[in-house]
Structure 1
Amino acid sequence: MGLCHRFVVRRIFLLRGGQIIAKILKVEGTDFISHYPNVGNVIGDAADEGIRIITTRHERTAVAIADAYTRYSMGHKHGVAMSQSGHAAHNLMGGMGQAFDDLSPILMMPAGSRMNQLEKRRWDSATNYTCVTKWSARLDNAVDIPSLMSMAFTRLRTGRPAPVLLEMMRDALMGEIQDSDFNYEPVKGWRYQGDPHDIEVAVRALLTAKRPVLYVGDGVLKADAAEEFREFAELVQAPVITNLKGKSTFPEDHPLSVGIRGRALWLCMSRADLVFGIGTSLSGMHGTPILPGQKTVICNIGEYDVNMYQRANHVVIGDAKLVLRQLITEVRKQTNGESVRKNEELEKEIAREKELQLKEWLPTLTSNKKPINPYRVIWDMMQTFDRKNLAITHESGSPREQLGAIWESLLPRSFLGWGHTTNLGFSWGAAMAAKLMWPEKLSVNWVGDAAMGHNAMDLETALREKLPILTVLSNNSAYATYGPRGRSRLSAAVTGVSPSSVISYATMAEGLGCYSERVEEPDEVIPALKRGIKEVKAGRPALIEVITDWESTRISYQIPNEYQPGKL
């Protein structure tokens, strides 16, 4: 009798490295990948997983979108950007440098060469980007992709925030594993509280100070702790100062807010005996500096920013959200549970100084001179936009200084302040990122004509990707406020640009398929803004080019003589 053999045939399915990466990004909650121009199969693999693909006109814009989206998410999302290898990876440096200096935890994934080409003068991103990343590694085979990506997301979600880079070598992208060997679980981040003793000492210093000020940076926003900070500020009844990146943490129409510039700030700062910093290194960059003799408390995510710019008297290391909750509890403990009485005298002083400041600035803010004063444009934007349904950002240089000082932000991340490195052109990516985060909100970027030479072609990206943004351009025919005559004998040669009588950015934007207007009359600013809003709401990006005056002074930086250091 013969034997009957039964064979079971099992089909083996293989996953390529690009598919593995795409599946992991999907599991980790990646909403989109911004890239330029094509990173090979991994982009198609990501699209197959339902991840949105955004193709930009420049690598730096791809980084900017990922960066700003991460900031807008307030610690809940991490933008992902990709690029080709070699020359394309070179172009990431500006955007990566800014993300690193501004502590933005994005995942950058440039393609790489084959491993056997590394020693043949091929660009090595994993090595060359160590100076602007928290961690940089190389995916050199398909098997190790899950473990290295798990390490990457752990670093993105834990500790001091900063970019992480994974270089995708061709060996990894084209390598294969059996689908049965693929198993990946999303990672979580870990946060930590401050040392209880440090909390106790910091609160004691705050409560015993005669005239403390609270100085807030964007570490509070990154920790999604604006609500806790407001509770803390109202509990201790101290004036609130922000730096540029921390702007919008605390509502600037609040009676305790003194903003980042102006008379109220200098009144409080010039007489402060304690500066209590939360989510900031107290660098003074794009904010107000610490004055000689003032004691300081720094509450920060890590030791790196402590004692960097001046010696701190007291330090709390920990996550801003958790630390603020500890501080609130400790204040109530040290005050025996009694609420601090509303500081009506302080609120009246702040209100008086704000009123005096507005009176001083109002002639400039409402000026009818031609060319149009850029501060008039900002003032008109404030009167036109719904600031509770808005995300606005600035460009570097003069637009940053103008908007940061004058704009009154009302909600967390309704204003995106940025810049230690301050790359020109960042605001287009930032504005599109805001539209990705909040499709229903108006997204605005305030720019100058210098920035138009950097990434303005990405207006076409906004059109193609259906991310309608409103760009308001201050065209003063100059770089910054140097002007054709300039501030030195070299400025005319170094900073001269084609005047607005020759060049038309509105025409350029129209050629890119966007709605555009050119405004030369002060009374036409608001009507033009309203037409731009209408077009944006209909799904079309818009550019409003306003011909402005390069000689306008930086009114935001003038410190009242009576509040100069040592006068109070």
Structure 2
Amino acid sequence: MRGAEAVIQALEKEGVRYISGFAGGGLAPLWEPMRASASIRVFAARHERLGVEIADGYARATGTVGVAMTGTGPGATNTLTGIAGCYADHVPVLLLMGQHPLRNLGKDVQQEVASSIFDGLVKWKGTFTRVDDIPGLIRRAFTALRSGSPGPVVLEMPGDVLSAEAPDEALHYEPVGPGHRSAPDPHDIERAADILVQAQYPILNAGGGALSGGAADEVKELAELLSTPVATTLVGKSVFPENHPLALGLGVYPRSRYATGPALHINRKADAVLAVGNSFRLPNGTDGRPLPPDVKLIHINADPADLNKTYRADVAILADAKLALRDLIEAVRDRLGSGKGGVKDEVVAEIQRARAKWLGEWEATFRDESVPTNGYRAVHDLMQVIDPDKTIAIHDAGGSRGYVSQFWVATKPLTYIGMGGMAAMGWSMGAAIGAKLGRPDHLVVHFLGDASFGMTGMDVETAVRMGIPTLTVVVNNGGTGGGMMQMERPSGPPPAMAQLSGNFSVVAQGLGAHSERVEHPDNLMPAYRRAIQATEDGQAALVEVMIKPMRTPDLPDDWSL
């Protein structure tokens, strides 16, 4: 058996279904076994970065490993942005990197790039140096991808090793299974349970680790047991149903960007905070203000680097979110006694009053009839014509994230895909394709600005070519929103750095997608319905909405009931 055959067979046994990327140096030995594979579908994106971001979206939408591939040289360097995003948000993506033959490495041959470019941006990386190393390195890769706190892995594959032969028994592969999770220290669980039961107003914050760890049921059970209001991070959004009476939406303690009104109000009342699977990353995860001395913090995370990073925890628990919450639920039940606990009407009523006040302040914006419209109305009107239980929404960087993330109501786990740590412009284009691959029974819609579309929009053609019917909503304000609102100031960017142009509905039509441009808000919902129908008929669709530049939500210090 050749090394390349061993790689593909191992991936098949690990359940890999899709590999996205672009053909490049060092990958040629893989083509024959890929063409022969009955279970793996390989396809090209328009750029190596998008290959990684497709795998990223697939991994986030399914909770499984996404796989991408690239050649050496500029192909490898093009993937850095995608890999950095996976690392920042703890997403399990495997990148297969083609490489020159071992005998040529270190000789400054054309397009020589070492896998060391990924140092600091991956959970683990390995290099095939002998053909019989392949099974062991792939086992280590999938163990790292599935165990502990997730993150990307790179496998560097020199072409001569892929072409080398070894006896079949030397390359035999057995899958590693679902991975390994760390259970919490029982003493820490007891201390945490004491704090939560004795607190007057405990709250629960859930991050990406709770979502990727499959802990949605445990978050809901504990919240209802203690009547704790629940807020999430950007990456954790959807782990708790946002139509639940205890839901605050975005806005973890003490304050974080894109916080909702209910979160801003309730956070002031907390005397105990249970943070599960979030990293308190500045500035989106927290604004960094100190915690009041009388507020107790319990922090559960599978990554030791995230514990005591921004805030010193009163109880720091290094463990898997699901395992830790399950033990914590049992410890809390023991303290409350049989039949005790439950959702408190007064807590729910306060959350509902805060939500009504906050949304009421935005109502005029949601229904603004001016032309051009605004990004908030573009999002609000789409929410009126979709089934939230069967839709996956994805935000992009910049203004579109502000328009979507606070106000979109995610009702089930993994129906919202948020990125927070790296925020690459145009990321949602690949993420939407990957999400639709993994969840074909859902409408997958992503929002991005015209500047972001300019960076990655050609991959509408990838969705069209591969029969992946995503819905792209481009909110076009004629440039970079923040720059356009500041370009008249002496300290702002000059107009040539802020203003852009283009009719992207025409571009999408040329790439084979259903496409419309909306210039009047009255036409939004009809255009969305036609685009959704196109996706249901199997065609990728794009709706370009002309909007005016508008600030994303501020966080006033004095917001309260």
The letter of the residue matching 1:506 is S
- Aligned residue for 1:26? 12
Q: Look up the SS of the partner of 1:372 in the other structure.
A: coil
- Aligned residue for 2:68? 81
The partner residue of 2:494 within 480, 487, 492 is 492
Q: Look up the SS of the partner of 2:132 in the other structure.
A: coil
Moved more, 150-159 or 56-65: 150-159
- Aligned residue for 2:214? 224
Aligned mates of 2:144, 2:28 — CA distance in 1: 26
- Aligned residue for 2:426? 425
- Aligned residue for 1:266? 264
- Aligned residue for 2:255? none
| Residue 113 in structure 1 maps to residue 115 in structure 2 | no
Alpha-carbon shift at residue 444 of structure 1 (Å): 0.5
- Aligned residue for 2:201? 211
Aligned mates of 1:508, 1:69 — CA distance in 2: 26
- Aligned residue for 2:128? 139
Aligned mates of 1:485, 1:268 — CA distance in 2: 33
| Residue 52 in structure 1 maps to residue 41 in structure 2 | yes
1:307-322 matches, within 5 Å, as 307-322=308-323
Aligned mates of 2:449, 2:349 — CA distance in 1: 37
- Aligned residue for 2:367? 366
Aligned mates of 1:348, 1:287 — CA distance in 2: 27
- Aligned pair in 2 of structure 1 residues 236, 47: CA closer, same or farther (>3 Å)? farther
Alpha-carbon shift at residue 83 of structure 1 (Å): 0.6
- Aligned residue for 1:416? 417
Q: How far does the alpha carbon of each residue in 1:496-546 deviate from its partner, in whole angstroms, 9 at most, with x for none?
A: 2334xxx21111111111111111011000000011111111111111001
- Aligned residue for 2:558? 561
Alpha-carbon shift at residue 484 of structure 1 (Å): 6.4
| Residue 247 in structure 1 maps to residue 237 in structure 2 | yes
| Residue 37 in structure 1 maps to residue 37 in structure 2 | no
The answer to whether the 8 A contact 1:243-1:288 is kept is no
Alpha-carbon shift at residue 495 of structure 1 (Å): 3.2
The letter of the residue matching 1:19 is E
- Aligned pair in 2 of structure 1 residues 18, 131: CA closer, same or farther (>3 Å)? same
Normalised to the residue count of structure 1, the TM-score between the two structures is: 0.93
Aligned mates of 1:44, 1:343 — CA distance in 2: 62
| Residue 184 in structure 1 maps to residue 183 in structure 2 | no
- Aligned pair in 2 of structure 1 residues 341, 146: CA closer, same or farther (>3 Å)? closer
Alpha-carbon shift at residue 124 of structure 1 (Å): 3.8
Alpha-carbon shift at residue 284 of structure 1 (Å): 5.5
Aligned mates of 2:157, 2:419 — CA distance in 1: 29
The letter of the residue matching 2:168 is D
- Aligned pair in 2 of structure 1 residues 44, 453: CA closer, same or farther (>3 Å)? farther
Q: How far does the alpha carbon of each residue in 1:212-252 deviate from its partner, in whole angstroms, 9 at most, with x for none?
A: 21111010111111111111111111110111111101011
Aligned mates of 2:401, 2:284 — CA distance in 1: 9
- Aligned residue for 1:8? none
The answer to whether the 8 A contact 1:43-1:53 is kept is no
Q: Look up the SS of the partner of 1:265 in the other structure.
A: helix
Aligned mates of 1:532, 1:194 — CA distance in 2: 47
The number of residues matched between the two structures is 543
- Aligned residue for 2:277? 279
- Aligned residue for 2:247? 257
Alpha-carbon shift at residue 476 of structure 1 (Å): 0.3
Aligned-residue CA RMSD in angstroms?
Answer: 1.6
Alpha-carbon shift at residue 388 of structure 1 (Å): 0.8
Aligned mates of 1:485, 1:194 — CA distance in 2: 49
- Aligned residue for 2:458? 457
Aligned mates of 1:30, 1:211 — CA distance in 2: 45
Aligned mates of 2:168, 2:199 — CA distance in 1: 63
Aligned mates of 1:416, 1:28 — CA distance in 2: 24
Q: Look up the SS of the partner of 1:111 in the other structure.
A: strand
Aligned mates of 2:230, 2:3 — CA distance in 1: 50
| Residue 94 in structure 1 maps to residue 95 in structure 2 | no
Q: How far does the alpha carbon of each residue in 1:164-220 deviate from its partner, in whole angstroms, 9 at most, with x for none?
A: 111010121111112343321100211121000000001111111222211110101
Q: How far does the alpha carbon of each residue in 1:83-114 deviate from its partner, in whole angstroms, 9 at most, with x for none?
A: 11111111011001111111112111110111
Q: How far does the alpha carbon of each residue in 1:406-427 deviate from its partner, in whole angstroms, 9 at most, with x for none?
A: 1111111111011211111111
The letter of the residue matching 1:302 is D
From the CA coordinates, give the structure whose radius of gyration is larger.
Answer: 1
Alpha-carbon shift at residue 160 of structure 1 (Å): 2.0
Moved more, 381-390 or 47-56: 47-56
- Aligned residue for 1:11? none
- Aligned residue for 2:253? none
- Aligned residue for 1:4? none
Aligned mates of 2:232, 2:189 — CA distance in 1: 22
Q: Look up the SS of the partner of 2:316 in the other structure.
A: strand
Alpha-carbon shift at residue 309 of structure 1 (Å): 0.7
| Residue 173 in structure 1 maps to residue 162 in structure 2 | yes
Normalised to the residue count of structure 2, the TM-score between the two structures is: 0.94
What residue ranges of structure 1 are gaps of 5+ in the alignment? 1-14
The answer to whether the 8 A contact 1:18-1:173 is kept is yes
Alpha-carbon shift at residue 266 of structure 1 (Å): 1.1
- Aligned residue for 1:236? 226
Aligned mates of 2:290, 2:402 — CA distance in 1: 21
Q: Look up the SS of the partner of 2:483 in the other structure.
A: coil
The letter of the residue matching 1:457 is M
- Aligned residue for 2:90? 103
The share of aligned pairs that are identical, in percent, is 35
Alpha-carbon shift at residue 430 of structure 1 (Å): 0.9
Q: How far does the alpha carbon of each residue in 1:72-92 deviate from its partner, in whole angstroms, 9 at most, with x for none?
A: 222xx2111111111111101
The answer to whether the 8 A contact 1:239-1:258 is kept is yes
The letter of the residue matching 1:31 is R
- Aligned residue for 1:198? 188
Aligned mates of 1:110, 1:459 — CA distance in 2: 25
- Aligned pair in 2 of structure 1 residues 452, 513: CA closer, same or farther (>3 Å)? same
- Aligned pair in 2 of structure 1 residues 183, 132: CA closer, same or farther (>3 Å)? same
Moved more, 33-42 or 520-529: 33-42
Aligned mates of 1:484, 1:404 — CA distance in 2: 21
- Aligned residue for 2:508? 509
